[in-house]
């Protein structure tokens, strides 16, 4: 078995189950659990364990993760605003992903032109 591929899936399933159970008791605790940085250490560990891993490649990966989190925060903000505005779930998702994609595109363009 290749634990580098299996472990992230198992942990993700466990987090989904924990969030579903916690939601019955505390929406705040469920939200905190859902946004815990579990995938980041897993991704870094998988990259670290790769045969061709180096400090430089891990640094590039970490920078990519940092850039990737900003559109996710925008997605959550847009989702919160649109849900509170009474939008349907489908419109919330479409608008959230649209804002995520636009933000990611802008950040990648900025990164390309500034060579970050």
Residue 98: the pLDDT is 98
Torsion of CA 34, 37, 41, 44, to 10 degrees: 110
pLDDT confidence of 112, banded at 50, 70, 90?
A: confident
Residue 44: the pLDDT is 82
Break the chain into its structural domains and give their ranges.
1-53, 54-116
**Rounded-to-integer distance, Cα 113 and Cα 116, Å:** 8
Residue 87: the pLDDT is 98
Whether the pLDDT of residue 99 is over 90: the answer is: yes
Rounded to 5 degrees, φ, ψ at 54 are -150, 165
**Rounded-to-integer distance, Cα 109 and Cα 100, Å:** 14
Q: How many angstroms separate the Cα of 37 from the Cα of each of 42, 86, 95? A: 9, 29, 24
The more confidently predicted of residues 88 and 39 is: 88
Whether the pLDDT of residue 51 is over 70: the answer is: no
pLDDT confidence of 116, banded at 50, 70, 90?
A: low
Whether the pLDDT of residue 96 is over 70: the answer is: yes
Q: What is the pLDDT of residues 56-81, one digit of tens each?
A: 888 888 888 989 999 999 999 999 99
């Amino acid at each position: 078995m290749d634990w580098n591929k299996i472990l992230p899936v198992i942990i993700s399933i466990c987090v989904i189950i924990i969030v579903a159970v916690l939601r019955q008791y505390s929406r705040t605790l469920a939200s905190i659990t859902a946004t815990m940085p579990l995938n980041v250490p897993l991704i870094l560990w998988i990259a670290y364990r790769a045969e061709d891993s180096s400090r430089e490649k891990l640094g590039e990966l970490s920078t990519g993760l940092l850039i990737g989190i900003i559109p996710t925060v925008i997605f959550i903000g847009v989702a919160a605003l649109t849900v509170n505005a009474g939008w349907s779930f489908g419109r919330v998702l479409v608008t959230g992903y649209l804002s995520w994609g636009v933000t990611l595109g802008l950040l990648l363009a900025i990164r390309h032109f500034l060579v970050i």
